[in-house]
Structure 1
Amino acid sequence: MNKRLLKLAVTSALTVAFAVPAFANPFSDVPAKHWAYDAVNKLAQAGVVTGYEDGTFKGDKTVSRYEMASIVAAAMQKDLNSDQKETVDQLSKEFATELNSMGIKVEAIDKKVDNMVKISGDARVRYGASDSYDNTDFRARVSFDGKINDNLKFNARLTSDNMNYDDEFATKTGIKLDTANVSFDALGLTNTVGRQDLVLGNGFLHDSAMTGIASEIGNLKLFAGHLKDSNEVYGAEYGMKLGAADITADYVKYDTATNDVDVYGANVGIKLTNSVTALGEFYNVDQGNTDANAAAYGLKFNKLGLTALYRDVEDGANSAYSGMHNDIQTLKDEDGYKGLEVRYDRALAKNTTLNLKYQDFEKQDGTEIDGGARTQAAINVKF
């Protein structure tokens, strides 16, 4: 019990330490006459950056170029749609000098160092607990990205994997190369060959690395390769925008030593308002005599960083390749489950995020899963 309290105290202290600078420097007003006002305001309304309670930037107070660049830098760290990326690209070019002084590269500047290897990385400390589980783990990764010529790029990533607090991880866990690939354009396709991450939809269907080839043309992605357990995987994903909805459809075939598994899936995000997005994800698993479904649906409150989902995974649909198995405490031994998941994501400071997750699942027959409800807290730092 004392060990659990100690771990919780350490995690809380880290959270407060990272959070202080984030709340000590509130956004300054952006002058309405500046061309960037509308751009920043649209990004705020979309939840990309945080402004006032209504998501706008008001007033005529002069804001320094460095302060404006800080806002742009925050937007550059987010997952953006094509329109938002175009807006952020325009802002980043305007404030390229200031961004460069922060150590943030802009494409126009990067062209001068095209053939240099770019090094980036991330580090994570994570705590998870339930009635029968209590653990803290650590992970660090370093990525190397380079341009060989105008049509050939490479990527490699070293990882420590997850080092458990309670283990002698120095002897049990070593550094390994978990991605190594080259990318090039050919026959109208953008191709990546080698060890690479494969994430389909939001990762509920598949979020696990493969060794093989992935090719993209427009909104269509094709892939084929081997997974870490030597099973083969083939498939395709197609994405489209339909009104306020972003939709992707997936087909995946797993070729195992015992049988073939066909999976059909789709996920959708519908922007209801600037602050609320409806989420839904579904997949069907067909493996001979077994036909099972998995679904997740709920709401994302964009400005709050809060997501609430109900997950319903039937017996036979709990894929070992799902992103659900990336949590510190997984559900690998459960045939099926259902229940509520709540996530909270917040940027604490530059390149620093806090991720909280609560899962209250039960088995499909209504009995409690060993350990009961699960909680997880993680602090991620990018460099």
Structure 2
Amino acid sequence: MKKRLLKVAVTTALTVAFAVPAFAASANPFSDVPANHWAYDAVNKLAQAGVVDGYADGTFKGDKTMTRYEMAQIVAKAMNKSLNDDQQGTVDELSQEFAAELNNLGVKVDSLQEQVDDMVKVSGDARVRYFAAEDAGDNTDFRARVNFDGKISDNLKFNARLTSGNMNYDGGNGDAGINTANVTFDALGLTNTIGRQDVILAEGYLFDTQMNAVATEIGGLKLVAGNTDANRIYAAEYGFNALGTDLVADYYKNDTADQEIYGLSTGFKLTKNLAINASYYDNNDADATAVSYGVKLNKLGLSATYRDVEAGAYTGFGALANDQQPSTLESGFKGMEYAYDRALDRNTALNVKYQDFEDQDGIDLGARTQATVSVKF
């Protein structure tokens, strides 16, 4: 087997800062904090990092004596920001120093939280992926996405996401634009989402894509109806626990392609560090099945899975469609898949996947390797 040296490029994490309206200074009910107090250096450090913005005019006067009341208000704002580990440690120390003042601010801090809850929240992720296959060469691509989540009313929320699409290192671009845009609301005990949304079913086997749909959830039951790539789709998933074992039952129907799949997957821990998983899917229309079973060492992030997927036992919208060539899926395949997952840093993860499959007749399909670094912000 031809050896390959994996080279995974790490993307520069995108940073989004939230600006929270500053409080104006008011009467001083506490003792002054001198400019040489340790907290001044700490707040100055946060100000230089853009975590706090100081006074109402947007300035931070590090050489001006502040009241403990003013300082506590600045700490309260910082407590509602997205912080890295170093910044979080500084804010934790400040919150301990001004614990009494923060407690006395109770109503004002709660009001600040309400303001934050009403704001449009911006988050996102970025990904660099290296892919190599014996039958298709290698490739590196990049994708960045930015999410916008907001509250229209107490019972109506919206989501929209911009994506760069998969951009190849050689200049090729994927489909950039808006790939989710939906509203969510509760009614009759159901949580409903209408619009273009992420749909993930059967841990990605049936679905791992976006589609225009209506989705409803209650407890462990999820129902989906929608369209994607000119296909009319209906799906249901129910997850529950029985005797300490997690079980998930799935149903998928593609009216356009006249395809119907039933599935059941399970997972349970043998020990604290060792987990077992298995799944079975049956496409009645094609008389085809897909079976998988494997183990995972949770502490090490290592897993090994055996897959046996007959022709016609996949949907075309799941994770397998991202891993394999269409011709491979159409003829079916079987073999081993190995994966390694590791957190590189806060909000940064590495996933390496190695697949060694043959077709249903025993012909070697060639090894396929994928390495991905993902960053959330």
CA contact (8 A) 1:205 1:283 kept: no
Q: Who is 1:116 aligned against?
A: 119
1:333 is the counterpart of 2:333: no
1:307 positional shift: 1.3
List per-residue Cα deviations over 1:321-376 (Å, max 9, x = no partner). 1211223xx2311220000001101000111111100000010100011xx10111
1:139 is the counterpart of 2:154: no
1:131 positional shift: 2.1
* Counterparts in 2 of 1:206 and 1:230: CA distance versus 1, 3 Å: same
CA contact (8 A) 2:206 2:314 kept: no
Q: Who is 2:194 aligned against?
A: 193
Q: Structure 2 residue aligned with 1:103, among 83, 87, 96? A: 83
- Number of residues paired by the alignment? 284
* CA distance in 1 between partners of 2:162 and 2:368 (Å): 29
Q: How does 1:114-263 map to 2 (within 5 A)?
A: 114-132=117-135, 133-166=137-170, 168-169=171-172, 172-227=173-228, 229-256=229-256, 259-263=257-261
Q: Who is 1:320 aligned against?
A: 316
Letter in 1 for 2:264: A
* CA distance in 2 between partners of 1:303 and 1:269 (Å): 16
1:102 positional shift: 5.3
* Counterparts in 2 of 1:14 and 1:113: CA distance versus 1, 3 Å: closer
CA contact (8 A) 1:205 1:265 kept: no
> After TM superposition, which residue ranges in structure 1, 4 or more long, deviate above 4 angstroms?
96-102
Letter in 2 for 1:325: A
Identical columns (%) = 55
1:286 positional shift: 2.0
Q: Structure 2 residue aligned with 1:377, among 341, 360, 371? A: 371
Bigger-Rg structure (1/2): 2
Q: Who is 2:296 aligned against?
A: 300
Q: Who is 1:357 aligned against?
A: 353
Q: Who is 1:87 aligned against?
A: none
* CA distance in 2 between partners of 1:185 and 1:101 (Å): 28
1:103 positional shift: 2.5
Letter in 2 for 1:270: F
TM-score by length of 2: 0.70
* CA distance in 2 between partners of 1:265 and 1:307 (Å): 22
Letter in 1 for 2:124: G
* Counterparts in 2 of 1:111 and 1:103: CA distance versus 1, 3 Å: farther
CA contact (8 A) 2:10 2:128 kept: no
TM-score by length of 1: 0.69
Q: Structure 1 residue aligned with 2:269, among 262, 271, 274? A: 271
CA contact (8 A) 1:324 1:331 kept: no
Letter in 2 for 1:191: N
Secondary structure of 1:202 counterpart: helix
Letter in 1 for 2:371: A
1:343 is the counterpart of 2:339: yes
Secondary structure of 1:364 counterpart: coil
Secondary structure of 1:161 counterpart: coil
Letter in 2 for 1:147: K
* Counterparts in 2 of 1:266 and 1:245: CA distance versus 1, 3 Å: same
Letter in 2 for 1:125: V
Q: Which segments of 5 or more consecutive residues in structure 1 lack a partner in the other structure?
A: 19-95
List per-residue Cα deviations over 1:192-241 (Å, max 9, x = no partner). 000011111211122222211000111111110101x1101112111101
* CA distance in 2 between partners of 1:110 and 1:193 (Å): 28
